Amino acid sequence: METDGSVLIRAQQWLKGNFDEETRKAVGKLIDTNPAELTDSFYRDLEFGTGGLRGIMGVGTNRMNKYTVGMATQGLANYLKMMFPDLHPVKMAISHDSRNNSKFFARIVAEVLSANGFRVYLFDDLRPTPELSFAIRQLGCQSGVMVTASHNPKEYNGYKAYWVDGAQMVAPHDENVISEVQKITTIDDVKWTGIPANIVSIGEEIDRLYLDRVVALSLSPEVIRRQKNLKIVYTPLHGCGRKLVPDVLARFGFENIHMVPEQAIADGNFPTVHSPNPEEHDALDMAINLAEKLHADLVMATDPDADRVGIAIRDRHQRMILLNGNQTAAILFYYILNRWKGLGKMKGNEFIVSTIVTTKLLSEIASSFGVKYFECLTGFKYIADVIRQHEGTLEFIVGGEESYGYLIGDFVRDKDAVSACAMIAETAAWMADQGKTLFDLLLEIYREYGFFKEGLISVTRKGKSGAEEIQQMMVDYRNSPPLSINNSRVVRINDFLLQKTTEVSTGIQIPVNLPKSNVLQFILDDGSIVSVRPSGTEPKIKFYFGVRERLSGSDDFEPCEKRLDQKISDIIASMKLR
């Protein structure tokens, strides 16, 4: 394979100047021996997207390394100086997860920011993403950075950029930061020499304040006292959940907690799992095996930065089954709203938030409790934005999305697996106190509101050509949308990029009052929903499927689930996605 001339020129720039010797040698080796890898490493700049940075680690302009991290951070610093010109110093909080190089990158970020005259609050060790969000608010910071690539494979790293309210940036700040980052065209534009006096180490004192707020969320402390021996298995999947999740469960009052020992070790190679993603069934295998040995009631697993949680529960046959993110959300939302009502906390101005690709069951639950329901674009920063918009007028209770992220209360402004683990365990204790299980609660919800079942498949396309193919798929779906899917007419198309809803039979168009996003949604005549969305952080395009049916009773659960699963499979086949 012959290297493109422009790529070679870009790569050769890294053989001179102020790049370190190790980097130069690595680039030289790519030039001499691996033209394909060289092209992927240098064909573009690593994009600072609306959520921050994320990419494969290595040398090159399209890789996560100290130079791309430093340049992105300088751009972020320049924007913050513009936004807070009279504030001296601008304050930042920085944390990191357990990934390879996360601590190193966090230090680079801290040094660049300190060199720019900022006061930097740097966590002394790995901490969960939600605690970083909390720290920004608690310490009165103007921004923050969490070094993580979430659940991506071990080759990846990245960082999320936060705003003054502890939420990831939304318009106009996200796009404005991108513009400033793009102006940093050379490493010589970066202030690299950190000022140690500007970097303040933080840790246990923030832990205590954060955990106090999480414990205050508890709605049934007397139930936990009776059910304190509920047997719980927890795994942090080698991530930073090990730092706080066992502590918060103990502080809630649970005394029978078992952490998977092999996965309690922070390790960026994630040696016991194919992927440290609680959405992946295999990631929970070791925890489920331990649960079977211990006859545990509940399994919970958090991703490396502890902002998402996956769970396994026992069905009516005492088999451990995995719940998807929508099912966990339904259980959690129902419990919290039920207890708020039972405790007389409802004043009529409460609301919950979810996303356009999350189960519509949450809307039904909210309606039944007289709680307002808001729907936003995919991504937790949009949930946080809804909270911000209604701050001071409405009271936020809970938010969540299908990708295993949940938030209870508003003292954090990103998804929070620490508080979610505690409240899921409390929900299990609440049911156990009635002689029932979480599975019984799920059945009760389905009987009351209908059996909602969702599915998701991702189509991955790697490299430059893959990114182009994904974009073309969206162009084709937008320009030539399907007239029917699985023999059911497409009756409505929601186009969140063009911000319009089209009634197919009449051609009538209605504006969509949400920010622009490259997402298409097809509503079928039989009530099924198909959503198509390119990932903003990974080289893949995602297809979300939602189907529903009435559930006549507990005995109908398995047959009904099979029918709904088959319907999703038929939709996938009709769209030729497999």
Q: Do 415 and 282 lie in a common domain?
A: yes
Same domain, 444 and 466: no
Same domain, 443 and 488: no
* Pair type for strands 395-401 and 350-355: parallel
Would residue 307 count as lying in a domain?
A: yes
Q: How many CA atoms does the CB half-sphere of 514 hold within 13 Å? A: 25
pTM as predicted: 0.94
**Cα separation, 406 vs 416, whole angstroms:** 6
Which residues, 6 or more positions from 490, have their beta carbon under 8 angstroms from its beta carbon?
481, 482, 483, 484, 504, 522, 523, 524, 525
pLDDT at 462 (0 to 100): 76
**3 state DSSP class of 559:** helix
What Cα–Cα distance (Å) separates residue 437 from each residue in 14, 45, 444, 553? 59, 51, 11, 16
Closest listed residue to residue 452, CA positions, set 522, 354, 351, 365 = 365
Residues 390 and 472 in one domain: no
Residue 17 corresponds to which tokens in the numbers above?
Answer: 């100047």
**185 domain residue, yes or no:** yes
Write the CB contacts of 101 (distance below 8 Å, at least 6 apart in sequence): 57, 64, 157, 268
Q: Is residue 7 part of a domain?
A: no
3-state secondary structure of 66: helix
Instruction: Give DSSP secondary structure letters for 145-197.
Output: EEE--TTS-TTEEEEEEE-TTSSBP-TTHHHHHHHHHHT--SGGGS-----GG
Residue whose pair of structure tokens reads 């890294």 in the numeric block: 14
Two tokens, residue 50: 């609306």
Considering only the C-alpha atoms of the chain, give the largest distance between any 2 of them, rounded to a whole number of Å. 71
Q: Let me know if residue 37 belongs to a domain.
A: no
CATH number of the domain encompassing residue 469: 3.30.310
Residue 34 in domain? no
Q: Which residues contact 216 (CB under 8 A, 6 or more apart)?
A: none
* Domain shared by 419 and 350, yes or no: yes
Residues 281 and 297 reside in one and the same domain: yes
185 and 62 housed in the same domain = yes
d(CA 38, CA 123): 35
Residue 23 lies in a domain: no
Q: How far apart are CA 341 and CA 338, in angstroms?
A: 5
Count of beta carbons in the 10 Å neighbourhood of residue 461: 17
The residue segments making up the domain with residue 463 are 451-574
Residue 228: name the closest of 41, 364, 425 by CA. Answer: 425
With a CB cutoff of 8 Å and minimum separation 6, the contacts of 420 are 309, 332, 406, 407, 408
What's the N-to-C CA distance of the chain in angstroms? 31
324, 244: one domain: yes
Tokens 């006549």 belong to residue: 552
Domain tally for the chain? 3
Q: Are residues 268 and 339 in the same domain?
A: yes
Give the count of beta carbons closer than 10 Å to the beta carbon of residue 287: 26
- Domain of 434, CATH number, reads 3.40.120.10
Residue 375, judged by CB atoms within 10 A of its CB (0-12, 13-18, 19+), counts as: middle
pLDDT (tens digit, 0 to 9) for every residue of the chain, 578 residues total? 445 788 999 999 999 889 999 999 999 999 999 999 999 999 999 988 878 899 999 999 999 999 999 999 999 999 999 999 999 999 999 999 999 999 999 999 999 999 999 999 999 999 999 999 999 999 999 999 999 999 889 999 999 999 999 999 998 999 999 999 999 999 999 999 999 999 999 999 999 999 999 999 999 999 999 999 999 999 999 999 998 999 999 999 999 999 999 999 999 999 999 999 999 999 999 999 999 999 999 999 999 999 999 999 999 999 999 999 999 999 999 999 999 999 999 999 999 999 999 999 999 999 999 999 999 999 899 999 999 999 999 999 999 999 999 999 999 999 999 999 999 999 999 999 999 999 999 999 999 999 999 999 998 887 777 788 888 999 999 999 999 999 999 999 999 999 999 999 999 999 999 999 999 999 999 999 999 999 765 678 999 999 999 998 888 999 999 999 999 999 999 999 87
Q: Is the CB of residue 553 less than 8 Å from the CB of residue 443?
A: no
> Looking at 401, 426, 449, which one is the last position of a domain?
449
Here the tokens at position 170 are 């939304």
Last residue of some domain: 418, 449, 480? 449
| 163 and 50 inside one domain | yes
The C-alpha angle with vertex 318 and arms to 279 and 333, in degrees rounded to 5, equals 50
Alpha-carbon torsion 218, 220, 222, 226, what sign?
negative
Residue 3 lies in a domain: no
CA-CA distance, 163 to 24, in Å (whole number)?
Answer: 35
For residues 422 and 465, membership in a common domain is answered with no
Q: Is 105 inside any structural domain?
A: yes
Same domain, 444 and 460: no
What's the rounded Cα separation, in Å, for the pair 335 and 333? 6
Last residue of a domain, one of 389, 415, 449: 449
Tell me which residue of 215, 214, 210, 221 sits closest to 343, measured CA to CA. Answer: 221
Q: Closest Cα partner for 110 from 130, 132, 131, 128?
A: 132
Catalytically annotated residues: 150
